[in-house]
Every structure is written in structure tokens, then in C-alpha cells.
Copies of this chain bind each other. A is one copy, B any other.
């Protein structure tokens, strides 16, 4: 057995990790816009990147390096360094060459507007403000935000039966372009667990499916999505099940926080799809629901419009029919295998559920036993406002 305890400290909770955020003048009003994570020991790296074909320069830069260890990640917001070609990759090399000598094989990660070269001079000047012995995880988490309205971080201490313990800490940014296939979201996770590199990658891949890849704000997939997990093994402690459970808790929390903080979102909705032909079809339905504009605007209007749910299930391209479908809002069953339970009393109760900040919509397709759970939000005026004006 093992014991998980949530602790403070974000990415600095794991021993040997340092982080901070500074203002390099990329954002206006002296807001923090550059962050670093530094480890005093070299780290193994596990990673998951966007499936977008227009992959951004920082990801190309990483993938070109092959097998290596690092002790440093530089992160900037406001500019994604995407669609910038070879020049974008060269810009990264030039920026990273200005870092202090303690830094080995540094990486870069970017988020912001697509299609503009990085403001290199500002960023290089910004790196001079970094203090590698600083442990301000809050400042780092704030610096990587774009349209996020709050910063997102979490950490766990994991205590094993043998008395040893290790830590996992993380920070993330999300907000818009969040989508099934991991959209403009960055997530950096640190651990001092003594985890084997290939096992760490396998676990990260597995956990990503039911957490970040189950979260959707607007169905758009960005050029820059990155989840990066660094382990410096300084704790000398590890247990696979405990590590996986802690990582799942961390990534699920951050995925839900991203959806809850989706641009203009006011509700976090859990879509529980069961009874599908297989898990893949269940996933397709869950994502169709979390991405549907008609469903999202009905959520915003707090309208228990179950007909739109049914229609979206029917349009998801999976095996489904109205005679075997069942739809519930939280525990309220509004439609059950061809029978409409939606009289005035039920509508009143369902409307009350829709007014909650968090609730679930369950669809049992009644075909077989495939299941998947996804997380989505509503879409209101604020989303339009934020995205109509994003570049300016």
C-alpha cells in the first residue's frame, strides 16, 4: 500500500527542482511572460506532443535532438513560434546559447500567436533575469498563462510502505484551443521518483488518454501542445502503481481545471458515455458531445435540451438508435430507451441541475459495453469576445 498526500509547491515540490517566472516585456503591463524549470541533476524526459501537422518550432527542436537528458526548460507565452520554418528553430538555438553554463541541453516551449517570429532580443534579455536558485512555482505558473484566468498547479507526496517517498509536481496552462487531441495546452511535470525512462513514457501515454485527451474547450487542436515530465531520481524511491495513480490525479485535476477555465466557460460538464459498441465509439460520442456548439450553447443557456444531446449522439458516426439510448442529467433520467421522462416536473428538476457549476450528462447507448468519460464546458459570449479580439 501507499499513501498520496496533496502538497503545495507545484513544480518545485519535487526535490532538486527550481522554477520562476519573470517579465520580459512580451505581455503588456509588465505581466510575467517567461518561466523556467531547472533541476540540479540531469533529468530523464517523457513527453506527449500535438498531433497537428503544422508542429511548432519548439517541438521540432526537441524532436531533432534524439535521446538526451536535460536540466532546463525555458517557456514563453504570447508567441507560439509556429509556422516560422527553419528560422524558428534557429531562433531557439540562438536564445538557448545565452543561458548560463549550469544549464545542460536546454529545451524551449512556447504558446501564443501563431505565425510570427519570436522577439529574440527581448527573450534573451529576459533570460538574464532568471535566478536558478529561485523556487517560485506560482510565478512560473502565472508566466505561462495566455487567456487563462487563473494559474494551474498541483503536487503530491507519495509515501510507500518501506517508508521511502517521492514527489510529483506540475503546472499547466490551457484556456482556448483545448481539444481531444491535446490543444494549446502546456503542462510541465517534475518528479524526484526513481522511475525508469521508458516506463515513465508508457505511463504518461496511458494517463494522457483519459485526462488531457478527454478534455475539450472548443475542438480546435493547436500547433504547440506539450506535456513534459522530467524525473531527476533524487528521491531514490519509486512504485509503479503509486506513481501512476498520483500522475493520473495530477493530470486529471489539471485537465479539469483547464476546461473549467476554458475561454468564457462557466460550467464544467462530465460526459459519461457507456453502452457503446466499444471504447473507441464511446470516446467518439463523448467528444462529439463536448465539442458540439449546439450542446455547448444549451449548457450556457442552462437549458436541459436533451434533444440536442440525442441528435449529437446520432450524428457521431457510431452505432446508436433511439430505442436503446438513455440520457440522464446527473441522476435524473430524462429519456430512457424510447420513453420520454420529460414532463414539467422533470424539466424543472433538470433545469436545476443545469444551473450547477459542475454536473454530468450520461448517455447509455445500450449497444454493448464500451465506455469513455470526457470533460467539456459551455460556450458563451465571453468565448466569442476573447477569440474575436485575440491577436489585438
> When the two chains form their complex, are residues A307 and B387 in contact, meaning their CB atoms are under 8 A apart?
no
> When the two chains form their complex, are residues A389 and B83 in contact, meaning their CB atoms are under 8 A apart?
no
CA gap between A298 and B314 in the complex, in Å: 30
CA gap between A218 and B288 in the complex, in Å: 13
A312 contacts chain B at the CB level, 8 A cutoff: yes
Interface size class of A (residues with CB under 8 A): 35 or more
> When the two chains form their complex, are residues B53 and A313 in contact, meaning their CB atoms are under 8 A apart?
yes
A223 contacts chain B at the CB level, 8 A cutoff: yes
A294 contacts chain B at the CB level, 8 A cutoff: yes
Which of B220, B313, B319 is close to A311, meaning CB atoms less than 8 Å apart?
Answer: B220
A65 contacts chain B at the CB level, 8 A cutoff: no
A51 contacts chain B at the CB level, 8 A cutoff: yes
CA gap between A385 and B384 in the complex, in Å: 11
A284 contacts chain B at the CB level, 8 A cutoff: no
Closest B residue to A223 by CB, please name it: B311
A380 contacts chain B at the CB level, 8 A cutoff: yes
> When the two chains form their complex, are residues A113 and B307 in contact, meaning their CB atoms are under 8 A apart?
yes
CA gap between A392 and B53 in the complex, in Å: 43
Which of B85, B297, B317 is close to A338, meaning CB atoms less than 8 Å apart?
Answer: B85
> When the two chains form their complex, are residues A312 and B220 in contact, meaning their CB atoms are under 8 A apart?
yes
Label chain A's interface by main secondary structure.
loop
A177 contacts chain B at the CB level, 8 A cutoff: yes
- Minimum distance in angstroms from A360 CB to a CB of chain B: 19
> When the two chains form their complex, are residues A218 and B293 in contact, meaning their CB atoms are under 8 A apart?
yes
CA gap between A80 and B115 in the complex, in Å: 45
A82 contacts chain B at the CB level, 8 A cutoff: yes
List residues of chain B with CB within 8 A of the CB of A387. 293-294, 297-298, 301
List residues of chain B with CB within 8 A of the CB of A297. 383-384, 387-388
List residues of chain B with CB within 8 A of the CB of A85. 322-323, 338
> When the two chains form their complex, are residues A82 and B311 in contact, meaning their CB atoms are under 8 A apart?
yes
A115-B335, A387-B293, A389-B301 known; A311-B381 Cβ under 8 A: no
A213 contacts chain B at the CB level, 8 A cutoff: no
> When the two chains form their complex, are residues B218 and A294 in contact, meaning their CB atoms are under 8 A apart?
yes
A115-B307, A292-B220, A380-B384 known; A52-B315 Cβ under 8 A: yes
A7 contacts chain B at the CB level, 8 A cutoff: no
> When the two chains form their complex, are residues A303 and B391 in contact, meaning their CB atoms are under 8 A apart?
yes
